[in-house]
Structure 1
Amino acid sequence: MKVGIAQVNGVIGDFPGNVKRLLHAYRECLEQGADIVVTPELSLVGYPPRDLVFKSQFVPKCLQALDYLAGEVKEIPLLVGYVDHNDSGKPGKPFRNAAAFLHKGEIRAKIWKTLLPTYDVFDERRYFEPGESCEPILWNGLCLGVTICEDIWTEEFLHRPLYDRDPVRELCGKGVDFLLNLSASPFHLGKPELRREMMAEVAKEAGVPVIYANAVGANDQLVFDGHSLVASADGRIAVQMPGFSESCVTVDLDSLPAGEADLPQPVAAGQLYDALVLGLRDYVTKCGFRSVCLGLSGGIDSALTAVLAADALGAENVHGLTMPSPFSSGGSVDDSVALAETLGIRCDIVPIKDTFTSVKEAMAPLFAGTKEDVTEENMQARIRGLYLMSLSNKFGHLLLTTGNKSELAVGYCTIYGDMCGGLAVISDLPKMRVYELSRWINREREIIPWNTIDKPPSAELRPDQKDQDTLPPYEVLDGILELYVERHLSAEEIVEHGYEESIVRWIQRRVDLNEWKRQQAAPGLRVTSKAFGMGRRMPIVQRF
């Protein structure tokens, strides 16, 4: 029995395009000798479709595409994920997260997803009704156990009991020969390794091979890393597909490799880099843009963003703008120009001194009798935002913001200034990860100027300004933020980890006070287990 795994990159709602991708992958698997082909969760639709499913023609168009796809499938069956109506006649949600078994021009069977996640970035119970039973598909003398993503996740790996059903156990009780899982499991650091461990355990416990087909590509804030795999019945990862790229692999279940697949040791920085490049490329191209622009400050955040953009889109499609103020150091301009030359991207220098002076003079009558403060600092950031948005409008670039997670968490960023833009590329990277990733980029040769990496970080909005005039050391800030934002610990619990109470409470207060800024921020690419954005829903007005 040879199973083809089609690890495809779909676009949400692009039914003609998704059909074309699926047929191309299906035929590639046929050329490899596949007896059956499996695709990721909602591969015909793109994941997650969110409220698009409520549009009157969305599901009908999906079903129309499914019928066309079925007509193209001949002797070799295809398992494809899609959205269906809930036609059970019982009260419940209007739709189903479904998989269709296509064979000889027809839809031979339909499978409903049983376990619907409603936590973190998932909100499936808003749309879908769960399957009432788990029934295998009988085909060619085999009993196929088909599950969809969450259906195969076990309580141990979810870290808490969420469901009173166990689809894998139900299917195994009906004598399945192997398990097929259609998945759209988004990436965060450490997730591929967690999946491998879980799939191996599920296969060993079930006593049958597990074929796991995961989506690849990015949609909005979520990056899907692929890493589809096959786990043998004795709990080995026999086959591991590549990450962060489309791929088709056909696996002979009757002659799986005797040992573990050759699995490269994961490098956190390498995974982050691949995820961010893929997320940036897909966001830009799927939104219909061809090029990007960004501000180059001479700092590490904008340098890292520029490197990612040049890799994702090609240097010719990246336009940098260096905008020195009276407080900018010569080194910052030189570092920006040096980076641009190394990457081969365009970099223009447009000083903001005259504009800054004009704005201060215009506001002087209103500000009479006051001292300069953060108001004048923010003027500079907002002037730069104006320049960058003008560049974006004139040439059709998507503007990339360059702020990191540490700054966004505590509000060390200027709304309508450096927060202007269409995509916040590194907004889920804490500052210490920014340094780690930048050094990894320079592991073989200098790409980001070492001076950019080594100098003390500064917004350069007043004389001799340093970030740590305002913020705690970044290693302290990031440690506390991980405990507060990602692990949801209280101030008292964080203090027990050895942090100074006054610093903990200052950071906690700043995080809470700046929710309003984050809700106006550009969408960011999720690469940690808890990102600001769709996976963290906090009220702006609250007193807890």
Structure 2
Amino acid sequence: MKLALVQLRVKSNNTKSNLAQMQSFIDLHRDAADIIVFPEMSVGGYMIGDRYENEDAMNELLALNETLRAMSKGTALIWGNVQRLDDQLFNAAYFAIDGEWATRDSGTDAGFYLKHLLPNYGFFDDRRYFEAGQGNFEPFNYKGEKVSIQICEDLWDMGHAFSPTQKMLAYNPDVVINISASPWVKQKEAMRLNNIRRQKSSVPFVYVNNTGMQNSGKNVVLFDGGSLVVHNDIVYHLSDTFEETSAVVDIHNFPAQASICDKKLYNALIHAIRYFDEETLAYGPKWIVGVSGGLDSSVTIALLTQALGKERILGVTMPSKFTRDITKNNAYHLSEKLGFEFKEIPIGEMVDATVNSLSYGDYNTVEGLSYENIQARLRGHTLMSVSSLVNGVVSNNGNKIEVALGYATLYGDAIGALAILGDLTKMEVGTVARELNEILKDEVVPANLIPSDEETHVEWGFAPSAELAADQFDPMKWGYHDRIIQHLMTDSLEALLTSYLDGTIYHTPIGKYLLGYGFDNPEAFVRDIQWVVRTMNTAVYKRIQMPPIVSISDHAYGLAYRESQMPLHYTENQEALFAAILAM
């Protein structure tokens, strides 16, 4: 049996585009494949929020199932869409053969399978909208073979009460087909294959995933494709380049094939920009970037230029009396290398005017953090003013560690239409900078900005600085805080403190930095950890107001990592562990 596996670029709430693309793949593969397989929710998109509760929208999607059934004339189609039974909504897979619904031996549920395992974590809110499937795991009949169909989470059954895959395998099908809308995050490639192999299927297992970009409002989510056909030890990989592709595979006789996307993180960010720009900003605005001469803004503007072309990009540098020559030179270097339109708009006079205006309210002394924030907000004000003059949008340049620690000024550098680097640690931003220079075969991102991770610390040619005061440098301990914050978002503070007490922390990726940053001293370690925890807690209100973040991990701020504004609280065990460390 030959299957055409279509890694459709599914566009949320754009049924016309999705159906047109599906028709083009049907025309392409009609004569070469027995079944043409499309991904989960391929008709209207998966991440459409409370549009699932919009009756008009659901009626349209349901009606399009009949359209697709008619499109199956002369072939067979599998696709994902909504189903409604007894006024309950389901996530469903449909199977039509030559204009008719596929059948089972029992005669039940002709033409559809209902998703049974409903993800309710990270980006997913399935239980908010859908009911779970009603227990029918019987295969469909097609050309003398038994075809089992399942949907995405039905494969990822760890932590659930039962395994749909195992219930399907009990029917001795000839093939199991999983249609998915499974977002890409780091290490997703190995996770997919491991989950399939864990099922120990003795028959071909087919996994069809979509490509493109969808969003949850707070998170921009990427789909890389990465579909698989697995039988025993043979694995056939489809492209995982984030671009729409298809392949015809004889599931009973296929070769091993690897498909490794080079520089995957770079490619993810490029496609996130392109797809977000095309689907949510269809009027083609200029992208305005505040070019500080630092690493984050340099990588942001280089990615935007690569993704959209220099004609769509406007860089603005906004020096103050604290701006160093090296950062000015870095900013001009980028404009010369990448060729984007570049403007210098000094903020000194605006800062003086703001300080003078405040004196009318009897605020005669403006200094310290207040003075720094005035500068940051005036930079944001300048960028927004430029964007209104050129009908543009502003990019947000912040990285994940800055977002975590609230190292951004509200209505200043926290503004923007999209936070491209908002789920990347500083070290990951450095990795992307190196990849950009490799791809462009030139030192576009200045080498003095790119961190070097040494044995015990991180070296910089020019240490990061907001340049809002004299001799100011960022307070982060780069490398160390990157890993500490990732740990605190995904693991136990108690476990971290315990590992410090028993010395096992030195055998972890965090441990190599302790000596270099002086955190082998227990008091310094505790003081720093408590500063990180306190600062992360204080910054929740800023993160709530952040632009949508391009998500590359399961714990991206937004809907993947959800937060409430609450007072800081340490458990009794945590307090005891802090005391024990201080007594070392």
**TM-score (normalised: structure 2):** 0.86
> Which residue number in structure 1 is paired with residue 497 of structure 2?
492
CA distance in 2, matches of 1:173, 1:128: 26
Relative to structure 1, the CA distance from residue 472 to residue 294 in structure 2 (aligned partners, 3 Å threshold; closer, same or farther) is: closer
> Which residue number in structure 1 is paired with residue 381 of structure 2?
386
CA distance in 2, matches of 1:504, 1:415: 24
Amino acid at match of 1:377: E
> Which residue number in structure 1 is paired with residue 2 of structure 2?
2
Contact 2:537 2:568 in 1 (8 A): no
CA distance in 2, matches of 1:424, 1:488: 27
**Count of residues in Structure 1 that have an aligned counterpart in Structure 2:** 521
Contact 1:515 1:540 in 2 (8 A): yes
Match of 1:480 among 477, 484, 490: 484
CA distance in 2, matches of 1:543, 1:239: 47
Aligned to 1:255, what secondary structure does the other structure show? coil
Match of 2:240 among 242, 262, 268: 242
Amino acid at match of 1:209: P
> Which residue number in structure 2 is paired with residue 281 of structure 1?
274
Amino acid at match of 2:307: A
Question: Offset of 1:394 from its aligned partner?
Answer: 2.5
Match of 1:448 among 440, 445, 448: 445
Contact 2:355 2:366 in 1 (8 A): no
Aligned to 1:102, what secondary structure does the other structure show? strand
Contact 1:486 1:529 in 2 (8 A): no
Match of 2:392 among 393, 397, 401: 397
Contact 2:239 2:259 in 1 (8 A): no
Match of 1:114 among 113, 116, 141: 116
Deviates more, 1:351-360 or 1:338-347: 338-347
Unaligned runs of 5+ residues in structure 2 are 103-110, 451-460, 506-510, 512-518, 520-524, 570-584
Question: Offset of 1:398 from its aligned partner?
Answer: 2.2
Work out whether 1:97 is the aligned partner of 2:91: yes
TM alignment of 1:186-335, pairs within 5 A? 186-202=183-199, 205-220=200-215, 221-232=220-231, 234-257=232-255, 260-264=256-260, 270-289=263-282, 290-291=284-285, 292-335=287-330
TM alignment of 1:344-359, pairs within 5 A? 344-359=339-354
CA distance in 2, matches of 1:494, 1:401: 36
Work out whether 1:141 is the aligned partner of 2:144: yes
CA distance in 2, matches of 1:449, 1:354: 29
> Which residue number in structure 2 is paired with residue 179 of structure 1?
176
Question: Offset of 1:196 from its aligned partner?
Answer: 2.1
After TM superposition, which residue ranges in structure 1, 4 or more long, deviate above 4 angstroms? 493-496
Question: Offset of 1:478 from its aligned partner?
Answer: 0.8
CA distance in 1, matches of 2:558, 2:500: 27
Question: Offset of 1:13 from its aligned partner?
Answer: 1.4
| Percent identical residues | 31
> Which residue number in structure 2 is paired with residue 465 of structure 1?
472
Question: Offset of 1:255 from its aligned partner?
Answer: 1.9
> Which residue number in structure 1 is paired with residue 163 of structure 2?
166
Contact 1:145 1:176 in 2 (8 A): yes
Contact 2:150 2:176 in 1 (8 A): yes
CA distance in 2, matches of 1:493, 1:243: 41
Deviation per residue, 1:223-265 (Å, 9 max, x gap): 1111111112x133133333211101110123211xx42344x
Deviates more, 1:406-415 or 1:368-377: 368-377
CA distance in 2, matches of 1:183, 1:99: 10
> Which residue number in structure 1 is paired with residue 16 of structure 2?
16
Contact 1:2 1:251 in 2 (8 A): yes
Match of 2:154 among 141, 146, 151: 151
Question: Offset of 1:440 from its aligned partner?
Answer: 2.4
Aligned to 2:233, what secondary structure does the other structure show? coil
Aligned to 2:30, what secondary structure does the other structure show? helix
CA RMSD of aligned residues (A): 1.8
Deviation per residue, 1:200-228 (Å, 9 max, x gap): 343xx110111111111111221111111
> Which residue number in structure 2 is paired with residue 429 of structure 1?
424
CA distance in 1, matches of 2:395, 2:530: 32
CA distance in 1, matches of 2:95, 2:477: 55
Aligned to 2:305, what secondary structure does the other structure show? helix
> Which residue number in structure 1 is paired with residue 552 of structure 2?
527
Question: Offset of 1:405 from its aligned partner?
Answer: 0.4
Aligned to 2:75, what secondary structure does the other structure show? coil
Unaligned runs of 5+ residues in structure 1 are 156-160
Contact 1:200 1:237 in 2 (8 A): no
Relative to structure 1, the CA distance from residue 440 to residue 494 in structure 2 (aligned partners, 3 Å threshold; closer, same or farther) is: farther
Deviation per residue, 1:27-69 (Å, 9 max, x gap): 22335x1110111110112122221111121110111222222
Relative to structure 1, the CA distance from residue 413 to residue 208 in structure 2 (aligned partners, 3 Å threshold; closer, same or farther) is: same
Question: Offset of 1:189 from its aligned partner?
Answer: 0.8
Amino acid at match of 2:120: T
Question: Offset of 1:371 from its aligned partner?
Answer: 5.2
Question: Offset of 1:488 from its aligned partner?
Answer: 4.4
CA distance in 2, matches of 1:366, 1:507: 35
Question: Offset of 1:397 from its aligned partner?
Answer: 1.8
